[in-house]
Chain A
Amino acid sequence: MTMTVALYTVISVTVATVYGLTLGGIVRKLYARVHGRFGPPVWQPFLDIIQTHGRRVSVSHGRMFYLGPVFRLAGGLGTYLFIPVIFGSAVFSNFSMSGDLLLVMYFIFFGQLGMALGAGQGGHPYSPMGIARGLSQMSAFEVPFSLAVIAVAIQYHSLNITSIVAAQQGGFMNWTLFTNPLAVIAAMISILGMNMHAPFSIVMAPQEIPIGPPIEMNGSFLSILQTNRGLFAAAKLVLFMNLFFGGATNIIEMIVKTFFIYMFSVFVGAAYPRFRPEQSFRFFLKWPALIGVLSIAYIVYLGGAS
């Protein structure tokens, strides 16, 4: 029994990582096409990971420097492992249990905090700058996102993602997208900040603070961070799909839905220039937060009906 669970977990994590990295490759290609270039091949993120992992030397700056990437990967793994990826599938149901929504919300923040500890020890001035920006932005987009999640929790009377997905089964009119559109709008705005594409690409702003927090990370440290980027992206998309778009009953449905959720932030990113940090923070705290509050009011007002 334990062996089976372990095997399922390995399969699930591997599929999610590969999927997330491939999405990253597709995004690079898409941005290149927008610029009028050919762009790198779709499998370029995998080559990058092999290349960074294959460095013969790598320099460390102390104990916390080791822990930073590990915390980040732990955050990604923690986020992913408590989200049921495919509804009703034994392999992809992961460790979903009652109250896992709260745990996932915590783990989304966890990685960045760990990274803040680790990257700070690198001593490069750009790392604390990137971390300050990242944590501030994260606090800002957590407001609309948390409000949307609270609205969803009130709506379905549950903090368990599996039961939230179960409540949305039976036709697309049962999706949160149609039963509580305000919460979805607030959450979809906050995913723009979460995916850190433009206009919210202030953490790794390539022309201002070149690549921000991981600037001193090299070799295997960086390859861990890159792996986590794929896994974490997949985890976030699956979470959004589960909460707002009715979950998935098979892997094809999962891929189609998450692909379009991701492409939303990519299209916005390809079309808009970057915000300044303070513009970004204020943006999230204004209209998206208000929409989030309204979504709760809406669902409480309609509460008797459901």
Chain B
Amino acid sequence: MNKKHIDDIEKQMKLANEGLPECERCLFSDDRPSSVEAFNKYYEGFLNWARSRSLWMLAFGTGCGATELRPLMTSRFDMARFGIFPRPTPRQASVFVVGGYASIKTIKRIIRSYEQMQGPKYVIALGSCTINGGMYYDSYNTINRLDYYIPVDVYIAGCMPRPEALIAGFNRLKEKIRAGECEGMNEYTEKFDWYKENQKQIIKDWNMPDYNW
């Protein structure tokens, strides 16, 4: 293979960032995300144990379900005793709670925030709207299935699920983390093109980089 050939292949490996204007492309990274292998079995098990006991939730109310997170934080249900804390920035958060319906405008922000989270990252989708559209199944601007756009670890059904149901959902997530089943981050990078295709199908004005580092 000559040099030009290699350059072509390297170019294909990069993201095009076609949504951005030409002058802004140099400001954003065009690297593809890559899968990161787990550490060795025992260390990873220990880390998973710690991760499951210290879940940092991205405090981003994406729908009406965010209302149910407030009683969960305050005295009556008190999620802090389970080691769940709100964190105001996606850089530090590890759990993304998608609160109910996600309109097209919101899912754009959801994708941005999800991609900015540092792995391993988990997603809890709450409410029927994220499962099959719920009562908004025929709406023109809310999505029907969340798992076509970002990988979801735990669904909590209901409209709205009570805080008790949310606690049950968090406990299910903890079990999955401890069993090492929550590899949504690697799933996202492995099926990256499929996810991007689905996302671009509904987000018509894609004016952000293809992967938000």
Contacts and interface: CB of A to CB of B under 8 A. Distances in A.
Given A217-B91, A218-B92, A55 B54 contact: no
B26 to A, nearest CB: 15
Contacts of A1: none
A44 B85 CA distance: 11
Contact of B36 (A35, A44, A51, A56): A56
A40 B54 CA distance: 10
Interface string B69-108: 0000011001011010101110110100000000000000
Contacts of B159: none
Interface in A212-258: 215-219, 222
A57 B34 CA distance: 10
B75 A51 contact: no
A50 B88 contact: no
Nearest to B82: A40
Contacts, number: 85
Q: Is the interface of B mostly helix, strand, loop or mixed?
A: loop
Given A47-B54, A57-B36, A206 B88 contact: yes
B120 interface: yes
Contacts of A174: none
Contacts of B38: 56
A38 interface: yes
Interface residues of A, number: 31
Q: Is the interface of A mostly helix, strand, loop or mixed?
A: loop
A159 B67 CA distance: 56
Contacts of B46: 50
A66 to B, nearest CB: 15
Interface string A137-159: 00000000000000000000000
A54 B47 contact: yes
A36 B80 CA distance: 12
Contact of B50 (A54, A58, A222): A54
A32 interface: yes
A51 B78 contact: no
B118 interface: yes
B89 A210 contact: yes
Contacts of B206: none
B75 A36 contact: yes
Interface string A20-39: 00000000100010011111
B53 interface: yes
B213 interface: yes
A57 B121 CA distance: 10
A69 to B, nearest CB: 13
A204 to B, nearest CB: 10
A201 B51 CA distance: 28
A51 B51 contact: yes
Contacts of A216: 89, 91
Contacts of B91: 59, 215-218
B51 A54 contact: yes
A9 interface: no
B81 A38 contact: yes
Given A32-B78, A47-B53, A56 B89 contact: no
Contacts of A28: 80
Contacts of A50: 46-47, 50, 54
B119 interface: yes
Smallest CB-CB A-B distances: 5 pairs: A210-B88, A54-B47, A50-B50, A51-B54, A37-B78
Interface of B: 36, 38, 46-47, 50-51, 53-54, 56, 74-75, 78, 80-81, 83, 85, 87-89, 91-92, 94, 118-120, 185, 213
Given A56-B36, A57-B185, A211-B92, 12 more contacts: A32-B81, A37-B78, A38-B81, A39-B80, A47-B53, A51-B94, A54-B50, A55-B118, A55-B120, A56-B118, A211-B88, A216-B91
